[in-house]
Structure 1
């Protein structure tokens, strides 16, 4: 069964959630603050992180941002009483996959955990064997997909696996529309609302990486997808 890293500083709630998960067969690693949770993440390599947002030492948003520097695959779910739209958006921008508002039912929590785990376990599409083709030219940039590296005037930007795969697909469909639903199915496993928000964040990151060449743009095609204009 999957291992859940649960980080919740409200001890009574944390114990209830931990016991409920263990009764259903999950292995639970429990921490009461963000710093302890981050240490457990590196030690235990859990399958999913479930973290409160407002915690001492390191809050949930900072925890997620730190995890995403080295791992953009593990599902992260936030638990919080903060319900303003800006907080929800920030959570997704920092790498969260789901956002459950307190108070919540334990049944809903478990359903959401199982959905995130199932999504992660979906088989990836088979990639063609890499070929010794030259670097891809995107305006003034040189893009090396196997090394996940974007270079401009000697300056290198290392991309995450998902960023590189998204940019490669945009390049292959350059000056044409890359359909949003296709990307979500291939790279995220389904086209749910939460994955859609995550895709929007990745597009924003790629725009930032490519901003130094005004001749290169990633534009939204409303309701359909994106187009890389070179």
Structure 2
């Protein structure tokens, strides 16, 4: 199945396993992608910033010079929002959290099937197109508030009372989703789809991990609890006295 586009999408493949890159280059070409291969992190970083800009990046975790985590963080630090799929042999939930916090959009555990790889690339591209439209003036300066918790969606600043909260990318995305649905019970699957996308294949336990991280940063001993668990259903963000 070819990419859903009028032109051949450009994929930057950053991996030093030559047999794998040869196979992926062939399969991606058949699927209608143009492929550029970088065999180390430094080269991948340079090519991610070069013209023509890649539409998608496939990035291996283990590279000869830098880790894929390091490269992803550097790509994101430069303001580049190209969707990134990470290939990894790391299957622990802490590793998945590390990858997502670094800015990857999805990850695929080795060994994997070509069909699954293609499905994830298509899903990432669709999500990128969905969120690449123009932003209205009201959205640019939107301030979300629940009790004394405040989020500026333009600057991505988050505060609880007079305390600034430092959130990772996914922690921010999750809190943003909870605040937009404040006062309503949000089901687990609804949250996973809203924060990670409908085609995300990750572990459902990731949600519990990020909820725990958020609570550590948002909740205060001397302030009302905001993030509540609805057992067997999901979560709700609302003010409630301790």
| TM-score normalised to structure 2 length | 0.69
Candidates 158, 179, 187, aligned match of 1:150 = 158
Contact 1:5 1:50 in 2 (8 A): yes
| Residue segments in structure 2 that go unaligned for 5+ positions in a row | 1-7
Counterparts of 1:98 and 1:134, CA distance in 2: 31
* Residue 210 to residue 42, structure 1, CA distance change in 2 (3 Å): farther
**Equivalent residue number for residue 17 of structure 2:** 10
* Residue 41 to residue 127, structure 1, CA distance change in 2 (3 Å): closer
State how many pairs are aligned. Answer: 229
Counterparts of 2:101 and 2:142, CA distance in 1: 33
Counterparts of 1:30 and 1:69, CA distance in 2: 22
**Equivalent residue number for residue 3 of structure 2:** none
Counterparts of 2:205 and 2:128, CA distance in 1: 16
**Equivalent residue number for residue 61 of structure 1:** 69
- Pairing of 1:1-230 with structure 2 (within 5 A): 1-44=8-51, 45-69=53-77, 74-83=82-91, 87-88=95-96, 90-96=98-104, 97-102=106-111, 104-122=112-130, 130=138, 136-151=144-159, 156=164, 166-186=174-194, 188-190=196-198, 192-194=200-202, 203=211, 206-211=214-219, 214-230=223-239
Q: What per-residue deviation string (whole Å, max 9, x for no partner) do you get for residues 3-37 of structure 1?
A: 21101112232233223312332121211112221
* Residue 30 to residue 192, structure 1, CA distance change in 2 (3 Å): closer
Counterparts of 2:78 and 2:231, CA distance in 1: 32
SS of residue paired to 1:111 = helix
> What is the Cα deviation at residue 147 of structure 1?
3.7
| Residue segments in structure 1 that go unaligned for 5+ positions in a row | none
